[in-house]
Amino acid sequence: MAVEAAVDQLVEDAHRAATGLEPARLASELQELLGQKLVAFAVGDRHPRTIGRYARGERLPESRALGQLVDIYTVVRILGEGMRESSIKSWMMGSNPRLKGKAPIEAIHDGRAYEVMGAARAFVTRR
């Protein structure tokens, strides 16, 4: 039960951190970790350069895209507790049995971020 409480706190802290960042910083950190193309795919933007514009503060993401950036960042922060940064991108792109074989980044693209957070919770709980 102590592990569950610690993971609950981790998820809450990750979400608080994500919602506390300026959109430019959010996009910048995700772009650095996952790359423009992957982040653009996750938020449903066909133009990866848009993520760079967000990161430089040249453009503000629309509310849907901002919500997805927050979701991705939250998942990345959760995973960061039990995984090296270099492995996070692989986890986000790999097939995940908790997501019926879909990659977490694909599930976020499909609007299933809550399920991805559950998969991330399960991953860090087992570590």
Give domain limits for the chain.
2-126
| Per-residue pLDDT reduced to its tens digit, 51-105 | 999 999 999 999 999 999 999 999 999 999 878 888 999 999 999 999 999 999 9
The verdict on pTM exceeding 0.75 is yes
Environment class of residue 9 by beta-carbon count within 10 Å: exposed (0-12), middle (13-18) or buried (19+)?
exposed
> What pLDDT score does 1 carry?
62
Average pLDDT, the chain: 93
Q: How far apart are CA 13 and CA 19, in angstroms?
A: 10
Q: Inform me whether the pLDDT recorded for 127 exceeds 80.
A: no
pLDDT at 8: 86
Neighbours of 29 (CB within 10 A): 19
The pLDDT of 28-43, averaged and rounded, is 96
Q: Which is more confident, 39 or 84?
A: 39
Instruction: Say yes or no to pLDDT of 5 above 90.
Output: no
Contact 117, 92 (CB under 8 A): no
C-alpha angle 4/100/47, rounded to 5°?
100
60 contacts: CB under 8 Å, gap ≥ 6 = 23, 54, 66
Which secondary structure element, helix H or strand E, spans residue 85, and what is its range? helix 85-93
Tell me which amino acid residue 99 is. L
CA distances from 91 to 34, 72, 88, 99, 100 (A): 11, 12, 5, 12, 15
